[in-house]
Amino acid sequence: MLAPTPGIDADSGPRSEESMLAVSVATFLENRTAVACALLVVAFAALALLAPWIAPHDPHAGDLLRRLQPPAWMADGEWAYPLGCDALGRDILSRLVFGTRVSMFIGVAVVLVATVIGTLLGLASGYLRGALDVAVSRVVDVLLGFPYLIFAIGLMAVMGPGLSNIILVLVIKEWVLPCRVVRAETLAAREMEYVEAARALGDSRGHIMFREILPNILSTVVVVATFRMATIIIVEASLSFLGLGVQPPTPSWGSMIADGRQFLLDAWWVSTLPGVAILVLVLAINLASQGLRDAFDPGLRT
Amino acid sequence: MSAPLLSIRGLRTVFPTRAGVVHAVDGVDLDVNDAECVGVVGESGSGKSVTFQSVLGLVKPPGRIEAGRILFDGLDLARCTAQQMRSVRGGDIAMTMQDALTALNPAFTVETQIVETLQAHVPSMRTRAAARARAIELLARVGIPDPAIRLKQYPHQFSGGMRQRVMIAIALACGPRLLIADEPTTALDVTIQAQVLELLARMRVESGMGMVLISHDLGVVAEQCDRVAVMYCGQVVEAGPTRDVIARPLHPYTQGLLRSLPSLSDPDRPIQPIDGQVPDLLGPPATCRFMPRCPRAAAACETRVPLLPAGAGRNVRCVRTAG
Amino acid sequence: MNPIALLERLLQLIPVLLGISLVVFSMMALTPGDPVDVMLGDSLATPEQRAAMRRDMGLEGPLHERFLTFVGNAVTFEFGNSFHHRRPVANVIMERVPATVELTLVSMLLALVVGIPLGVLAAVRRDTWVDRMATVTALFGVSMPGFWFGILAILVFAVHLGWFPVSGRIGYSAEVPTVSGLLLIDTLIAGKPASFLEALRHLALPALTLGLAMAALLARVTRSSMLDALRQDYVTFAQAKGLSRARVLLRHALKNALIPTVTVAAIETGTLLGGNMIVETVFGWPGLGRLVVEAIFTRNYPIVQAAVLLYAVTYVLLNLAADVLYTVLNPRVRL
């Protein structure tokens, strides 16, 4: 047989983890759409953090003389209240800015906590197997049997609305996704040679799980998490729309849309504009996540 | 001498990529005659598979045929209509692929996959019954036991060698005049390889069809083929009757190939790999492609070297050996 | 397909269903406040009367007994009486189910009929303007909150253009004898084409809204799995056999591409079931979803409990159906 020669398929890729990360980051940065969207998400986060200083008016203060005032570019609008006012005369722009806090905070908090819990349980059940795996899988099956909103609505109904309740309820439903993904990846990883080698070297199970397997599946976990954030934001908005989310007077985009429903004919902006905010944020998250996924694993790119 | 069955002249196939244009096939001339078996040998990247994908118009976009003529039965396949191409594919020229597991659709039974080929090309196979009967015949002909039962099975239910036979049966279903077998033995165990090669030889003799046997394994080609063409870097570097080429290789690359094979007659002869690496197909140099690795390179090699005649039906792309 | 394997799968569902029942039961059992107090309010019922009522409603006794009673009752569709309707919960729910079933079915149909072909088209015409438009549309579809799209749809198509009604299922003037509960079918059976069209007009916007997210997702998944399938060797081999382009695409590539699509579609039916509540609220659709939302605000817990259980069980069964469909598409997998 011929001596092996690389040919045009020669792949002399980087070997060390650090440089693989560098390659992924570089690939991501080449994707201008993804970078722009990531910056947009950061901008929203900044908006959320700096809301009290950025919002032009107090979101809770309503001036009934300004009830249902149109946005600035329409007749009867004024630039001091650029996006108009709602039924109680409150500045919509300010309420949108403050609403960012709710969406971003819930989005990040739920995904963060759920991912940590899900990853830990997924690693443990995937690697250690046995009774733990069986128990976790049963719980996952049961939780997956509930459609997302049904579960959330059911629980919120009995627990009552409120920020901490929402986060709790959403985390309870959300952790199963990262858990399943991590478990599947762990099951595959534990058959691989690097794990066998670690076992042969006498590494402890904890070491193998956290120092050997986890770094390899981390990119998948991160990509899943970023995508889920988009979904969570929409779920929270849906709950708020139904009145089961954060309660007034805290502004949330979903409840703002609900408030504006009855004025659709005369004051379409009250319901429409918060939806635009949701759309923009979720779109940005989705595109940035896609860019992230493409950067980490170009093989998945279609 | 009658016209060759297939005549490729000056074929150039390129693949535009982000890094540049890859010249996968860069000026290939090749003939296949009726009832003849031509072996095409080369390593990965030599362009041997792409050449014959080009013949059947199977080059995946953005790759495309840039230049050349592919004459088959008076038709230039590089320029024919889609209709004509579809008629030729499977009907006149058939192809088998390297791995039958991926080439056969996992979602359909073997029967479906044979019958659809028959019904696409053979008018007398319009009825399901006729097609089914023919399919059973074909499976029996390629040596599959219990063909009526196996017809209803899915590809994953066959062993590797059996699957290859099924693929051959499909290829032969419409009585093609030329069979292109792309690496027919590469994915198989050694013992099965011999069986498949013997099957191919038998089919060729029975039907009088021409055959192209593409392989990176010189040993496979040496046994089965009347003539052999050696490819390197998208070009044919040597061609001629198999026995002559192997007994007296003219091109330094062919010589290097033979030296890198273990010898049965002299088991203690050391294997000598060819030094160096295959050059990048992105911007092929305007010199002999093999020059950087050639032990006989000289100043005369710094030009584009055409395929030169070298006596008795042989051609060589080398200024140092021809003539 | 093996009926015994199917039976086995159904039996395997039982622990999951029990688990779901447990969760639903716990939700209610942990309700703060006393339902009896809620119902009776400040009326002059004596403590003994209240206790009697609690016992009647199965609110007394140790938790595990109550759970077993709950499950036993649930299997016979006995959920007690609705707090506000003063009628059996099962009856109240059954009245509203047909409307929801009709909406969900039509939405699912819409999503499949729009989403899958769009995905196939995008894959086949990859990187052309068709592909870009389809991809962008699909992206917007999954990034938009459904209820907002519904409101916009109402604003544009109902309020400003007047093509569709703003809400409801059908005008009051229509008198349609109930056969299946599905208006689209009943109107045809009763030979009332005008009513059929009316029902369709009322169904259009809600079904569009509910099906949108699923259609967008199906388009994305189908596009990516189709692109994957088109890269496979069996497509090249099918082409090499001289098969027509249509056959290669639709039979060879699509059949394999549908495999991941079916899996995703099955999971997404959950979104359809949950989205029920939102869409019915936005469009005033008289279905189960809106009933549940109202029940939550009136603290009508028996309804909420029964409905959640119903939704969950339906979802689980739908997923089983999808698994069966999967084995049909992918002969390498058995049930």
Report the C-alpha gap between A134 and A143 in whole angstroms.
Answer: 14
B48 to chain A nearest CA, in Å? Answer: 13
**B263 or C225, higher pLDDT:** C225
> What is the mean predicted confidence (pLDDT) over B107-117?
91
Q: pLDDT per residue over C181-226, tens digit each?
A: 777 777 777 777 787 888 888 888 999 999 988 999 999 999 999 9
Q: Calculate ∠ Cα A177-A183-A186, nearest 5°.
A: 140
Chains A & B: contacts with CB separation below 8 Å? 34
Query: In 3D, which of A145, B215, B228 has the Cα closest to residue C273?
Result: A145
pLDDT band at C38 (very low <50, low <70, confident <90, very high): low
Write out the E strands in chain B.
Answer: 6-17, 20-32, 37-41, 64-72, 75-76, 93-96, 178-182, 210-215, 227-232, 235-241, 308-309, 315-316
Mean pLDDT of chain C: 83
Q: What tens digit of pLDDT does each residue of A254-300 get?
A: 999 999 888 888 888 899 999 999 999 999 999 999 998 888 876 55
- Residues C163 and B182: their CA atoms lie apart, in Å, by 61
Chain B positions touching A8 (Cβ under 8 A) are 22, 45, 278, 280-281
A32: tokens are: 């201008």
Confidence of residue A61 (pLDDT cuts 50, 70, 90): confident
A41 CB contacts (<8 Å, ≥6 apart)? A281, A284, A285, A288
Q: Which residue has the tokens 């592919």?
A: B70
- CA-nearest residue to A4 within chain B is B273
Secondary structure string (H, E, C) spanning C5-52: HHHHHHHHHHHHHHHHHHHHHHHHHCCCCCHHHHHHCCCCCCHHHHHH
Beta bridge partners, C83, equal: none
Q: Cis (ω within 30 of 0) for the bond into B123?
A: no
Q: Which of C296, B223, B308, C222 is nearest to B213 (CA)?
A: B223
Is the ipTM reported for this complex over the cut 0.90? no
Work out the percent of chain C whose per-residue pLDDT is above 90.
Answer: 24
Residue A11 binned pLDDT confidence (cut-offs 50, 70, 90): very low
B44's CB contacts (< 8 A; 6+ apart) are A7, A9, B216
Residue-range domain boundaries for chain C: 97-285+311-329
Average pLDDT in chain B: 87
- pLDDT band of residue B43 (cuts 50, 70, 90) is confident
Mean pLDDT within C18-31: 82
Residues C53, C36 contacting (CB under 8 angstroms): yes
Amino acid at A110: V
Mutation for A interface: C12, C151, C160, C294, most A CBs within 10 A: C151
How many other C-beta atoms lie within 10 A of the C-beta of residue C62? 7
Scanning every residue of chain C, which has its alpha carbon at the shortest distance from the alpha carbon of B180? Answer: C240
Lookup result for tokens 């140790």: C62
Q: B233 CB near a chain A CB, below 8 Å?
A: no
pLDDT given at position C67: 80
Mean pLDDT throughout C57-86? 74
- CB nearest to C252's CB, from B82, B99, B105: B105
Return the percentage of chain A with pLDDT > 70, whole number.
Answer: 92
Q: Is the Cβ of B273 closer than 8 Å to some Cβ of chain A?
A: yes
Q: What is the pLDDT of residues A179-232, one digit of tens each?
A: 999 999 898 888 888 888 888 888 888 888 888 888 888 888 999 999 999 999
The encoded tokens of residue C155 equal: 């604003």
User: Does the pLDDT value for residue B167 go beyond 90?
Assistant: yes
Residue with the larger pLDDT of the pair B266 and B214: B214
Distance between CA atoms of residues A247 and A229, nearest Å: 21
pLDDT given at position A274: 93
Contact C241 B120 (CB under 8 A): yes
Whether pLDDT at B48 is above 70: yes
Residue B44 has pLDDT above 70, yes or no: yes
Residue C78: how many other CB atoms lie within 10 Å:
14
Please choose, from the candidates A86, A67, A75, the residue with its C-alpha nearest in 3D space to the C-alpha of residue A256.
A86
Which residues neighbour A277 within 8 Å (Cβ) at sequence distance 6 or greater? A96, A99, A100, A253
Interface touch C274/A153, C-beta < 8 Å: yes
Q: State which H helix or E strand residue C149 sits in.
A: helix C146-153
* Closest to B23 (Cα-Cα) out of B279, B237, B302: B279
Cβ within 8 Å, pair C270-A148: yes
Contact between chains at B281 and A8 (C-beta distance less than 8 A): yes
- Residue B77, pLDDT > 80, answer yes
- Quote the CA–CA distance of C297 and C309 in Å, as a whole number: 18
Res. C284: pLDDT tops 80: yes
What pLDDT is attached to residue B3?
82
Q: Does B1 score more than 70 pLDDT?
A: no
Choice among A70-79, C13-22, C50-59 with the minimum mean pLDDT: C50-59
Between residues C192 and B93, the one the model is more confident about: B93
Tokens of C103: 């909406």
What separation in angstroms does the CA of C236 have from each of A212, C149, C222, C259, C287?
A: 40, 42, 20, 20, 50
More confident position, B62 or C234: C234
The mean per-residue pLDDT over the stretch B285-295 comes to 78
Q: Tokens at residue A91, please?
A: 């500045």
pLDDT band at residue A10 using 50, 70 and 90 as cut-offs: very low
Work out the percent of chain B whose per-residue pLDDT is above 70. Answer: 98
Give the minimum alpha-carbon distance from C43 to chain A in angstroms, rounded to a whole number: 24
Do residues A149 and A240 lie in contact, with contact meaning Cβ atoms separated by under 8 Å?
A: no
pTM over 0.95: no
Q: How many helices (H) and strands (E) does chain B have?
A: 11, 12
- Residues in Cβ contact with A247 at an 8 Å cutoff, skipping those fewer than 6 apart: A161, A162
Which pair of tokens denotes residue C176? 């349609």
Position C73 scores a pLDDT of 78
Q: Give me the residues of B, 127-186, that contact C with CB < 8 A.
A: 154, 156, 167, 170
Instruction: Give me the pLDDT at residue A298, please.
Output: 62
Structure tokens at C5: 């394997």
* Burial call A240-260: b when 16+ CB within 10 Å, e when fewer: bbbbbbbeeebbbbbbbbbbb
**Contact between C332 and B102 using a beta-carbon 8 Å cutoff:** no
Instruction: Collapse the DSSP code of A302 into the 3-class scheme (helix H, G, I; strand E, B; otherwise coil) and give the result.
Output: coil
- At C35, is the pLDDT very low, low, confident or very high (cuts 50, 70, 90)? low
Q: What integer pLDDT is reported at residue A302 of this predicted model?
A: 46
A164 Cα to chain B: minimum distance (Å): 49
Q: Strands across the sheet with B64-72, in order?
A: B20-32, B6-17, B64-72, B75-76
Q: Are A146 and A176 in contact (CB under 8 A)?
A: no
Structure tokens at A196: 């066998």
Confidence of residue C276 (pLDDT cuts 50, 70, 90): confident
Residue in A closest to C223 by C-alpha? A302
**pLDDT tier for residue A111 given thresholds of 50, 70 and 90:** very high
Give the separation between CA A120 and CA A132, rounded to whole angstroms.
Answer: 12
Is C97-285+311-329 in CATH node 1.10.3720.10?
yes
Q: Three-state SS across A214-237?
A: HHHHHHHHHHHHHHHHHHHHHHHH
Dihedral in degrees, nearest 10, Cα atoms A128, A134, A135, A137? 100
Q: Please give the Cα distance from A84 to A66 (Å, whole number).
A: 9
Amino acid at A123: L
- Of the residues C18, C20, C147, the best mutation for testing chain A's interface (the one with the most A CB atoms within 10 Å of its CB) is C147
Give the per-residue pLDDT at C173: 55
User: Taking residues C81-95, what's their average pLDDT?
Assistant: 78
Q: Single out the residue of A280, A284, A263 nearest to residue A88, CA to CA.
A: A263
Chain-chain contact of C311 with A242 (C-beta, under 8 angstroms)? no
Q: Compute the nearest-CA separation of C39 from chain A (Å).
A: 16
The token pair at B68 is: 């050349």
- Classify the C-alpha dihedral B219-B220-B223-B226 as positive or negative: negative
Q: Which residues neighbour A187 within 8 Å (Cβ) at sequence distance 6 or greater? A: A126
What is the structure's pLDDT at B19? 78
* CA-only gyration radius of chain B, Å: 20
